A and B are shown apart, each in its own frame.
Chain A
């Protein structure tokens, strides 16, 4: 048994191809994440970063290799996993309070208790006073805060994030990154955060995992030993950060070029 919160060993995922045959999304991926560790995953567009997350979350089974969460092999959705999606996953027909309380209600917790806890989390993500609003009445950043509270209220010790801030404007994104670090610090949760934004990847992470062009596997792991607590907009101006950025980019550039060359035919 391992003491890692998350461990992928030789994880491979193949999907049946529409035209027959199989399509390999990721191959032989080895990643281990300890409790309380923040790992970001970068890689060329469409290389299979998200697939890695769906293996850990149990939404998709691995074709080969093993995936364990909290020391147990993943079969179905493991306990203690939280997942923030790239696109909006708030329920448009429920108000903020009911959206945040959703996970607790699914877990069979009574309405009064779930609502009390939801109110607490709404305050923590800075949305106090917006309990009765529906998602369409909120800005993109506020909806992300709802999603964050919705995920964190279940107190996951494994937190998976798939480019959660990708659709936000730059200022809001940096604000949300700081919020995430603030809410995460001290929870002891292991985080896997997928992004294609190198600044984001380095600013948030303890380790940056660089993936190859698809079918993706781990190419490089860069340790980020910048001190915490961090302020994203300040840390990215330091020389240490620039140095790390260069290292990660050197590693990633080759893969991006391969992807570009491949996609030149069918991608604008």
Chain B
């Protein structure tokens, strides 16, 4: 299920194709015409798209259903100046962000620890493989309903939803990364005197880092989805609640405006993760490679 949800991550085309098949197509993207031509054409595309939308909504389409850019803009302005029906917009953004970040941090920690440990413990991995596959096959987004029953309408249920989405994305990459550590590096470290813990810390974890970081791009998108879906299902605050209320009032502009805000948040988070990735992989010869994360 989580596959089909469009993930609001990515700046370039490369990452927007996520999460199914992100692989190469990284290099050779510099155009001969220079960066300004690229920006110019991009701006033009957006202008044409928004213009066509606005025009069709004003002429032959029903703006009640599809809304239009000017209405969405108006809604955003109102939200940010006068506040929303659910209080200050910043407060709602902050709540959603806290839930997403909470689920993200817990999910990444859990996924990395379990992934790396199982990646090195072949027997345990063999025993647990079918259970993990089964758990991954559960349409996890539906768990959000269960979590509302378990943890109530507060933040905990959203954090739990974000966690289950993030955990598996990170787990599988960390597992694969820990499995594919160069055997020579391990042998070399053992000969040099590394114990079990040193081996994990100095060889396995750094080897798996590029895999783990690659999964984090997709994972933060999942965390936001988890938080927002959790709020749509039942919450007292947050962006998901705003969207859900707009839907209840047949206010399509409100739904779109909520989407715009969430997308902006996702883009900012993506930038931060890319920066973190660059810093952690400074030793690498060229630009980052992105591994597909089979969620």
Please list the residues of chain A having a beta carbon within 8 angstroms of any beta carbon in chain B. Answer: 57, 59, 77, 81-83, 85, 87-89, 91-95, 102-103, 106-107, 134, 136, 150-151, 154
Residues of B within 8 A of A87 (CB): 182, 184
Distance from B180 Cβ to chain A, minimum over Cβ atoms (Å):
14
Residues of B within 8 A of A151 (CB): 192
B191 touches A81 (CB 8 A): yes
**12 A-B pairs whose Cβ atoms sit less than 8 Å apart in the complex:** A83-B188, A85-B184, A85-B188, A87-B184, A91-B203, A91-B206, A95-B283, A102-B189, A106-B194, A136-B283, A136-B284, A154-B192
B198 touches A106 (CB 8 A): yes
In angstroms, Cα B184 to Cα A181, docked, is: 24
Partner of B202, one of A77, A89, A102, A150: A102
B198 touches A89 (CB 8 A): no
In angstroms, Cα B185 to Cα A89, docked, is: 5
In angstroms, Cα B191 to Cα A57, docked, is: 8
A106 touches B203 (CB 8 A): no
B40 contacts partner chain A, Cβ-Cβ < 8 Å:
no
Partner of A94, one of B182, B190, B283, B285: B283
Partner of B193, one of A89, A92, A93, A103: A103
Distance from B286 Cβ to chain A, minimum over Cβ atoms (Å):
9
How many residues does chain B have at the interface if contact means C-beta atoms less than 8 Å apart?
Answer: 21
Q: Which residue of A lies closest to B203 (CB)?
A: A91
Instruction: List 3 A-B pairs, minimum CB-CB distance, nearest first.
Output: A89-B188, A103-B192, A106-B193
Residues of B within 8 A of A134 (CB): 283
Interface-centre pick from A83, A87, A106 (highest chain B CB count, 10 A) = A106
Interface residues in B2-44 by Cβ distance below 8 A to A read: none
B195 contacts partner chain A, Cβ-Cβ < 8 Å:
yes
Distance from B257 Cβ to chain A, minimum over Cβ atoms (Å):
44
Interface residues in B216-255 by Cβ distance below 8 A to A read: none
B187 contacts partner chain A, Cβ-Cβ < 8 Å:
yes
A92 touches B283 (CB 8 A): yes
Q: State whether A82 and B191 are in contact (beta carbons under 8 Å apart), knowing that A89-B184, A136-B284 are contacts in the complex.
A: yes
In angstroms, Cα B189 to Cα A77, docked, is: 11
In angstroms, Cα B284 to Cα A91, docked, is: 11
In angstroms, Cα B191 to Cα A103, docked, is: 8
User: 1/0 contact trace for B273-295 toward A, CB 8 Å?
Assistant: 00000000101110000000000
Distance from B89 Cβ to chain A, minimum over Cβ atoms (Å):
42
Distance from A166 Cβ to chain B, minimum over Cβ atoms (Å):
13
Residues of B within 8 A of A93 (CB): 206, 209, 281, 283-284
Residues of A within 8 A of B206 (CB): 91, 93
In angstroms, Cα B190 to Cα A89, docked, is: 12
Distance from B212 Cβ to chain A, minimum over Cβ atoms (Å):
13
Q: Which residue of B lies closest to A137 (CB)?
A: B285
B193 touches A107 (CB 8 A): yes
A136 touches B285 (CB 8 A): yes
Distance from B214 Cβ to chain A, minimum over Cβ atoms (Å):
16
In angstroms, Cα B284 to Cα A94, docked, is: 10
A91 touches B193 (CB 8 A): no
Q: Which residue of B lies closest to A160 (CB)?
A: B191
Residues of B within 8 A of A77 (CB): 190-191
Q: Which residue of A lies closest to B192 (CB)?
A: A103
A91 touches B202 (CB 8 A): yes
Distance from B73 Cβ to chain A, minimum over Cβ atoms (Å):
47
A106 touches B185 (CB 8 A): no
Distance from B52 Cβ to chain A, minimum over Cβ atoms (Å):
48
Residues of B within 8 A of A102 (CB): 189, 192, 202
Residues of B within 8 A of A91 (CB): 185, 202-203, 206
Distance from A92 Cβ to chain B, minimum over Cβ atoms (Å):
6
Residues of B within 8 A of A136 (CB): 283-285
Residues of B within 8 A of A83 (CB): 187-188, 191
Distance from B185 Cβ to chain A, minimum over Cβ atoms (Å):
6
Residues of A within 8 A of B191 (CB): 57, 59, 77, 81-83
Residues of B within 8 A of A154 (CB): 192-193
In angstroms, Cα B185 to Cα A106, docked, is: 14
Q: Which residue of A lies closest to B185 (CB)?
A: A89
In angstroms, Cα B209 to Cα A150, docked, is: 23
Distance from A76 Cβ to chain B, minimum over Cβ atoms (Å):
9
Partner of B192, one of A59, A92, A95, A106: A106
In angstroms, Cα B188 to Cα A81, docked, is: 11
In angstroms, Cα B198 to Cα A91, docked, is: 14
In angstroms, Cα B202 to Cα A103, docked, is: 12
Distance from B40 Cβ to chain A, minimum over Cβ atoms (Å):
36
